[in-house]
Amino acid sequence: MINLAINGLPVSVEAGTTLLEAARFVGFPIPTLCHMDGLSPYGACRLCVVEIGDGPRARLVSSCTYPAEEGLKVRTASSRVVRARRMVIELLLASCPQSKVIQDLASAHGVRQQRFKQEHEDCILCGLCVRMCEEQMMAKAIGFRGRGEKRSIGTPFDVKSDLCRLCGGCMYVCPACQLRCTYTEPEKAICGGCANLAPPCLEKEQFDDLMCYMDPCVACEIRKDR
Amino acid sequence: MDRVDSLDKFSALQSRLVAALDPGSPTIVVPAGTCGQVSGANELVRRARQVLLERNLAERVRLRVTGCHGFCEMEPSVLIEPEGTFYPKVNPADMARIVEAVADGAVVEDLLFLEPATGARVRKQADLPFFRKQVRTILSRNEKVDPTRLDSYIENGGYSALARALRQGDPRWVVDEVRASGLRGRGGAGFPTGLKWQRLAEQPNGRGKFIVCNADEGDPGAYMDRSVLEGNPHSIIEGMVIGAYGTGATEGIVYVRNEYPLAVKHLAAALQQARELGILGRDILGTGFSFDIRMVKGAGAFVCGEETALLRSIEGLMGEPRQRPPFPVQKGIAGKPTAINNVETWANVPIIIQEGGDKFAKIGTPNNTGTKIFSLVGKVRNTGLIEVPMGITIREIISDIGGGPSGKVPVKAVQTGGPSGGCIPVERFDLPIDYDSLTKAGSIMGSGGMIVMDENTCMVDVAKYFTNFLKDESCGKCFTCRKGTQRMHEILDGVSKGEGGPEQLDLLEELALVVKDTTMCGLGQTAPNPVLSTLRYFRQEYLEHIEGRRCRAGVCKELITYSINEQCTGCRACVKACPQGAITGTRKERHTIAAAQCIKCGACRSVCQFDAVDVT
């Protein structure tokens, strides 16, 4: 067991536990966006930062990726953490104002204004869909491409991957883009799962073991009626 | 070369090679690193060979082609040994005269370096102001060694440090020597190398350990690692083999960027030669110790210089940093313990082992030992690679070695540490150059880029340039780094156009501090440095842009106008140069610029010989 102190409270956890798990276990809330139980930690959204260490060596780390260490002092809501967290939310809000998840976060953390030029992006590159596809759906159909401001999520050369089973898992986990659907351009579609009228059922005839999160699916019902 | 299978045979080979050397024989040395070749060193070599053969001098005068010596401003240059005569900016047509003078033991006076301050000719390289204050332990080897020949390295004492380490028969001795030397990582962060090695050595050696040479040098305007790899690849190999012996590593990897073709070529040849001689591979020099090095070529992402991203890149994955701990020394390539050091760090290792750690620790200042190579570029008269002891002041570097500003206007600031570094203003030029004081001043040591800026440089524009670089080169994983650099660039772009109010600067500072705090890797944590350091030292300049809509350096295009003053002689040079046809006027009368058409390219100003074009 590893002993550490979270907000002054002594906690002992098993080796390999992350700070986020430890804090949540004892009941300290830490907001997250790119973290999901069942998916590997990634540390992309930086919402879950906590302060560790003392004095001049104190620093912020993402609690979802940082492993619990013996004797570590963790502060989950110091002024430095709160300031950073609010700026992250402000940046998120400036990029993706239409996401309900982000609006709720802003509301919960008292972010009332956004001082940057408003953008309307539909992806914050949290990588949940990429990990969902790879780790839970065993498909690896989508991945990150490019770097810096050109980074995006998609398939190589924007061609639909043969590995994609149109399960829609990627859309299910997305915190920002629930409504993103490129079904009008099926060749560029990441998953096509949103086409809840025909494609999943069409494919289903060819694949018996198709995992469909929409099951039971209205589209199938419609087809049966015909 | 035949395989050498014992330490004694290696020593015999080395003494044989050294005995065959005649230190007094005249030698023409032509530095032909990438910088030299671009400025025409290959043509000099060709001419020299031709003259040597035509005049039957090849027996008496030797020719050696080496890597870069550092004085890039004066290339293509020629160095004559043993006297150390230096000829700068040699024209191929003059090569015949130089070769003949060398054969006669004479000097071509009119081709010697002209000291701009005194107007006197300086003969010897060591007497040049550029070289006088330097302590060249690594770069001086570039002068002596032909990078394509293993013989040349061995006859200059190469691999004797390795032989010494192997003779000791105790890996701990190697680590102790490096610890005693106080060597700190030359890649920028300054982690004590000996400590890193000790931790690697302590790791259980179940399934192998790795050591990596990080040669993914990506800072704009920095090329120290390239010149060491090009000019002396065997020193890196020797350093790595010593490191492997000390730490028990089983495999070495040199991660070199593919944009350095000459470095790749020289390193590949050197690896092959070392393998043939028995320096690499199984049973090195008959000691039973086995180790090999392979080369991995990077695809050109700046972030791959960060150690965890570099490891992922070596594994064939996307170059993306990950959380530390676990540190690479615990879990690196394929989950095995890995130590990563910079090219310059590895190049220091043979010197430490040969001379002893204590002697190395005497150079520089306590806690910041040894020498450091900087690439001194920008608005300074002598640009090039310089190697100085740690603790030297910025003023000494810029005024004495660099020779002061290149133009008429005074120096304003120096930017150290590449895009992640900060700007240090002229008032703080008495700052000693070492890891700790640079960090305190808001900059970083970085890998050693040093860009000098004069009064014609706009600090807002500088910050904007570096954030633009970083927003493209951030890997994009951390939201705050990716979006933060974009937003910082957006605000800086607004400031450079005179938009917004002083509250924009507060927002910029707030954002920069959060980006520094919340990102995962070194790139993001240092990305706000250009912004924060310019805001700290040059806030007035920012305010002038916003409140006065004025750019005092005349750089930010939205805030300046070009006009022609009464100095104009009506020569029409600017009329011909203007790509927009915005300048009108009759011959021998003062011209005018139509502001509506002017695109502020500055073409008129650069052709004007009478200082008649004003920028306000």
Shared-domain flag, residues B297 and B314: yes
Shared-domain flag, residues B178 and B281: yes
What is the DSSP pairing of strand B613-615 with strand B562-564? antiparallel
Look-up: residue for tokens 């750019």? B551
Which residue, A73, A108, A143, sits at the end of a domain?
Answer: A108
Shared-domain flag, residues A90 and A151: no
**B303 chain-A contacts, CB cut-off 8 A:** 147
CB distance A151–B490 less than 8 Å?
A: no
Shared-domain flag, residues B218 and B346: yes
- Cα–Cα separations (whole angstroms), residue B388 to B344, B372, B424, B451: 13, 6, 19, 16
When divided into structural domains, chain B yields a total of 5
Shared-domain flag, residues B279 and B396: no
User: Which of B159, B198, B203 minimizes the C-alpha distance to B176?
Assistant: B198
Is the pLDDT assigned to residue B65 strictly greater than 80?
A: yes
| CA B535-B191-B351 angle, 5° bins | 120
Give me the CATH number covering residue B114: 3.40.30.10
Which residue, B83, B101, B125, sits at the end of a domain?
Answer: B125
Rounded CA separation B222/A52 (Å): 35
- Domain with B463, as residue range(s), is 459-547
Shared-domain flag, residues B436 and B539: no
CB distance A44–B325 less than 8 Å?
A: no
Residue A119 within any structural domain of the chain: no
Shared-domain flag, residues B537 and B575: no
Residue B138 within any structural domain of the chain: no
Shared-domain flag, residues B180 and B64: no
Tell the burial category of A162 from Cβ atoms under 10 Å away from its Cβ (0-12, 13-18, 19+). exposed
What pLDDT, on a 0 to 100 scale, did the predictor assign at position A101? 85
The distance of B468 to chain A (nearest Cα, Å) reads 10
CB distance A44–B487 less than 8 Å?
A: no
Of the pLDDT bands very low, low, confident and very high (cuts 50, 70, 90), residue A186 is: very low
Shared-domain flag, residues A201 and A169: yes
Rounded CA separation B88/B86 (Å): 6
User: Which of B102, B104, B103, B121 minimizes the C-alpha distance to B113?
Assistant: B121
Lowest-confidence segment of A25-34, A214-223, B400-409, B521-530 by average pLDDT: A214-223
Token duo for residue B488: 């910082």
Mean pLDDT of chain A: 81
pLDDT tens, B83-127? Answer: 999 999 999 999 999 999 999 999 999 999 998 888 899 999 999
Rounded CA separation A167/A144 (Å): 19
Is the pLDDT assigned to residue A209 strictly greater than 60?
A: no
Shared-domain flag, residues B357 and B370: no
Residue B152 within any structural domain of the chain: no
- Domain with A184, as residue range(s), is 128-225
When divided into structural domains, chain A yields a total of 2
Q: What is the 8-class DSSP label of residue B399? A: I
Is the pLDDT assigned to residue B272 strictly greater than 60?
A: yes
Residue A99 within any structural domain of the chain: yes
Residues in chain A: 226
Tell the burial category of B321 from Cβ atoms under 10 Å away from its Cβ (0-12, 13-18, 19+). buried
**Mutation target vs B (from A42, A91, A113, A118; most B CBs, 10 A cutoff):** A91
**B305 chain-A contacts, CB cut-off 8 A:** none
Shared-domain flag, residues B57 and B106: yes
CB distance A115–B507 less than 8 Å?
A: yes
Shared-domain flag, residues A103 and A140: no
**B484 chain-A contacts, CB cut-off 8 A:** 91
Shared-domain flag, residues A8 and A74: yes
Lowest-confidence segment of A149-163, B52-66, B208-222, B478-492 by average pLDDT: A149-163
Q: Which amino acid is at B422?
A: G
One DSSP character per residue, B207-270 reads S--EEEEEE---STT--HHHHHHHH-HHHHHHHHHHHHHHHT--EEEEEEETT-HHHHHHHHHH
Size of interface A-B (CB pairs under 8 A): 99
**B478 chain-A contacts, CB cut-off 8 A:** 43-44, 46
Question: Taking the CA of residue B54 as centre, how many other CA atoms within 13 Å lie in the half-sphere pointing to its CB?
Answer: 9
Of the pLDDT bands very low, low, confident and very high (cuts 50, 70, 90), residue A177 is: low
User: Which of A166, A62, A103 minimizes the C-alpha distance to B519?
Assistant: A62
> What percent of chain B is modeled with pLDDT above 90?
87
Distance of CA A78 to the CA centre of its chain: 24
Rounded CA separation B475/B218 (Å): 14
CB distance A49–B517 less than 8 Å?
A: yes
Residue B435 within any structural domain of the chain: yes
> What percent of chain B is modeled with pLDDT above 70?
100
pLDDT tens, B214-270? Answer: 999 988 889 999 999 999 999 999 999 999 999 999 999 999 999 999 999 999 999
Shared-domain flag, residues B258 and B186: yes
The distance of B518 to chain A (nearest Cα, Å) reads 6
- Cα–Cα separations (whole angstroms), residue B608 to B167, B481, B556, B583: 68, 44, 21, 13
What pLDDT, on a 0 to 100 scale, did the predictor assign at position A123? 85
Asked whether the beta carbons of A35 and A64 are under 8 A apart, the reply is yes
pLDDT tens, B144-197? Answer: 999 999 999 999 999 999 999 999 999 999 999 999 999 999 988 899 999 999
Rg (CA), chain B: 26
Residue A117 within any structural domain of the chain: no
Residues in chain B: 616
CB distance B517–A91 less than 8 Å?
A: no
Residue B427: which residues within 8 A CB-CB, separation 6 or more? none
The distance of A73 to chain B (nearest Cα, Å) reads 16
Asked whether the beta carbons of B449 and B416 are under 8 A apart, the reply is yes
**Average confidence (pLDDT) over B64-74:** 94
The distance of A46 to chain B (nearest Cα, Å) reads 6
Q: Which amino acid is at B121?
A: R
Residue B292: which residues within 8 A CB-CB, separation 6 or more? B251, B252, B275, B280, B281
Tell the burial category of B265 from Cβ atoms under 10 Å away from its Cβ (0-12, 13-18, 19+). middle
Mean pLDDT of chain B: 94
**A127 chain-B contacts, CB cut-off 8 A:** 477
Is the pLDDT assigned to residue A165 strictly greater than 70?
A: yes
Asked whether the beta carbons of B29 and B78 are under 8 A apart, the reply is yes
Shared-domain flag, residues A51 and A133: no
User: Which of B40, B86, B47, B83 minimizes the C-alpha distance to B63?
Assistant: B47
CB distance B477–A44 less than 8 Å?
A: yes
pLDDT tens, B427-472? Answer: 999 999 999 999 999 899 888 899 999 999 999 999 999 999 999 9
Rounded CA separation B387/B350 (Å): 17
Nearest to B482 among A61, A115, A151 (CB): A151
pLDDT tens, B324-347? Answer: 899 999 999 999 999 999 999 999
One DSSP character per residue, A116-149 reads SPP---S-----HHHHIIIIISS----EEES-GG
Residues of B with CB under 8 A from a CB of A: 301, 303, 318-320, 322-323, 325-326, 470-480, 482-487, 490, 507, 510-511, 514, 517-520
Which residue, A61, A80, A108, sits at the end of a domain?
Answer: A108
What pLDDT, on a 0 to 100 scale, did the predictor assign at position B295? 96
Rounded CA separation B320/A130 (Å): 15
One DSSP character per residue, A19-86 reads HHHHHHHTT-----SS--TTS-----S-TTEEEESSGGG-EEEETTTPBP-TT-EEESS-HHHHHHHH
CB distance B518–A43 less than 8 Å?
A: no
Shared-domain flag, residues B521 and B382: no
Residue B92 within any structural domain of the chain: yes
Token duo for residue B105: 């033991």
- Prediction ipTM score: 0.90
Q: Is B455 helix (H, G, I), strand (E, B) or coil?
A: coil
Nearest to A91 among B475, B480, B519 (CB): B480
Nearest to A88 among B323, B474, B479 (CB): B479
**Average confidence (pLDDT) over B56-62:** 91
Is the pLDDT assigned to residue B37 strictly greater than 50?
A: yes
pLDDT tens, A124-158? Answer: 899 999 999 999 999 998 899 899 999 988 888 87
Q: E strands within B74-199?
A: 78-81, 85-87, 113-114, 121-122
Chain B CA closest to residue A50:
B518
Residue B16 within any structural domain of the chain: no
Shared-domain flag, residues B219 and B269: yes
What pLDDT, on a 0 to 100 scale, did the predictor assign at position A205? 52
